[in-house]
A = this chain, B = another copy of it.
Amino acid sequence: MKIGEFASQLGVSTDTLRYYEKHALLTPSVRTQAGYRDYSQTDLKQMMFILRAKNVGFSLAEIKELLQIKFKKHQHSCHEVKNLTIQKRDLVAGRIAELTRFHQSLSVLADKCCGGQEPADNCSILTTLEDIDGLNQ
């Protein structure tokens, strides 16, 4: 399968596929005489692995690690795989916590402001940001 068809089957761009190849995430097994990439069923499976891993939040660098494990499963342990997953989960949890604080602060700010058409001279959002913290610890 040439890159165009492969890309549209997977819903990604050809640029993305070339990018993945450059970064050693997916290298099509064969090239045609003309030098065109020729993707196989195996490549399709691997690309779906990549897309699923992306869907659960893994970065491309992390996916690369997972692929290396997948290629040589017997050289790696469950422990290793679970560690990657848990590390990622905890990182995500940290980011959620930060964003939740943002969300809380923004809600407090928004609730203080009347949102009317009058000039912002006394807008509580602005005065709160100007004055000493009514938001943080």
Contact = CB atoms under 8 A, between A and B. Distances in A.
A14 interface: no
Interface stretch (A16-24, A29-37, A106-114): A106-114
A56 B105 contact: yes
Interface of A: 45, 49, 52-53, 55-57, 66, 69-70, 73-83, 85-86, 88-89, 92-93, 95-96, 99-100, 102-103, 105-107, 109-110, 113-121, 123, 125-126, 129-130, 133, 135-136
Given A56-B106, A92-B106, A73 B116 contact: no
B123 A73 contact: yes
Nearest to A98: B57
Contact of A73 (B55, B95, B119): B119
Name, among A78, A81, A96, the residue most crowded by chain B CB atoms within 10 Å (CB to CB): A78
